[in-house]
Amino acid sequence: MNKDKKKIKILAVEDDQKCLKLLSILLEDYGFTYDTAINGLEAWEKIQKDDYDLIVSDWNMPGMDGNQLLRKIREYVKTQKTPFLMLTARADVDSISTAVKVGVTDYVIKPYEELTLIGKIEKLLKKSPSQTPDPEGAPNSADDKSVDQKSISLKVMELIGKGTVDFPTMPQVVFAIEEMIKREDLNIHDLAELIVMDVGIATKLIGVANSVAYRGLEECTKVEEAIGRIGMKEAGRFVHLIANRNLFALKDSRFEKTTMDLYVHSVAVGIASQSIAKHLKIAESDKYYLLGLLHDIGKLLVLQVLSPLTKDMREMKLDFFLDVMNTLHNKAGSILLARWSFSPIFSSVALNHQDVSFSDKPETEVLVVHFANLFVRELGFSIRDVKAEDLLTSKSAKLLGLNAEILEKVTGEVKEYVEKVTSIL
CATH number of the domain encompassing residue 50: 3.40.50.2300
Whether 139 shows a pLDDT value over 50: the answer reads no
- Asked if residue 143 is part of any domain, the answer here is no
Per-residue pLDDT, 114:
78
Instruction: Please state, rounded to an integer, the average pLDDT across all residues of the chain.
Output: 86
Per-residue pLDDT, 388:
63
- Say whether both 112 and 204 belong to one domain: no
First to last CA, the chain: 52
- Say whether both 23 and 80 belong to one domain: yes
- Asked if residue 186 is part of any domain, the answer here is yes
The count of other CB atoms within 10 Å of the CB of residue 91 is 15
Distance between CA atoms of residues 256 and 249, nearest Å: 8
Q: Per-residue pLDDT tens for 284-295?
A: 999 999 999 999
pLDDT grade for 85, boundaries at 50, 70 and 90: very high
Whether 341 shows a pLDDT value over 90: the answer reads no
Per-residue pLDDT, 301:
95
- Say whether both 100 and 215 belong to one domain: no
- Asked if residue 176 is part of any domain, the answer here is yes
Which of 132, 151, 186 represents a domain boundary (last residue)? 132
Per-residue pLDDT, 4:
58
Mean pLDDT of 143-167: 74
Which amino acid makes up residue 119?
G
- Say whether both 76 and 19 belong to one domain: yes
- Asked if residue 41 is part of any domain, the answer here is yes
Whether 199 shows a pLDDT value over 60: the answer reads yes
Per-residue pLDDT, 133:
43
Which of 75, 107, 132 represents a domain boundary (last residue)? 132
| 197, 207 Cβ separation under 8 angstroms | no
- Say whether both 103 and 41 belong to one domain: yes
Burial class for 294, CB neighbours closer than 10 Å (0-12, 13-18, 19+):
buried
Helix, strand, coil shares of the chain as percentages rounded to 5?
60, 5, 35
The count of other CB atoms within 10 Å of the CB of residue 61 is 23
Per-residue pLDDT, 148:
62
- Asked if residue 221 is part of any domain, the answer here is yes
- Say whether both 117 and 19 belong to one domain: yes
Domain of residue 102, residue span? 5-132
- Asked if residue 345 is part of any domain, the answer here is no
Whether 147 shows a pLDDT value over 80: the answer reads no
- Asked if residue 418 is part of any domain, the answer here is no
Q: Could you give the 3-state DSSP secondary structure of residue 375? A: helix
Distance between CA atoms of residues 336 and 341, nearest Å: 9
Whether 387 shows a pLDDT value over 70: the answer reads no
Distance between CA atoms of residues 30 and 24, nearest Å: 10
Whether 128 shows a pLDDT value over 70: the answer reads no
Whether 221 shows a pLDDT value over 90: the answer reads yes
- Say whether both 116 and 179 belong to one domain: no
Number of domains in the chain: 2
- Say whether both 10 and 128 belong to one domain: yes
- Say whether both 124 and 10 belong to one domain: yes
Alpha-carbon Rg for the chain, nearest whole angstrom, is 25
- Separation in Å, CA 73 to CA 37, 68, 80, 88, 135: 15, 9, 6, 18, 20
Q: What percent of the chain has pLDDT over 70?
A: 90
- Asked if residue 285 is part of any domain, the answer here is no
- Say whether both 99 and 196 belong to one domain: no
Q: Per-residue pLDDT tens for 13-67?
A: 999 888 899 899 888 888 889 999 999 999 999 999 999 999 999 998 988 999 8
Which of 247, 279, 312 represents a domain boundary (last residue)? 247
Lowest-confidence segment of 75-79, 133-137, 232-236, 275-279 by average pLDDT: 133-137
Q: Could you give the 3-state DSSP secondary structure of residue 93? A: helix
**Which tops the pLDDT comparison, 65 or 113?**
65
pLDDT grade for 11, boundaries at 50, 70 and 90: very high
- Say whether both 115 and 197 belong to one domain: no
pLDDT grade for 107, boundaries at 50, 70 and 90: confident
- Say whether both 119 and 175 belong to one domain: no
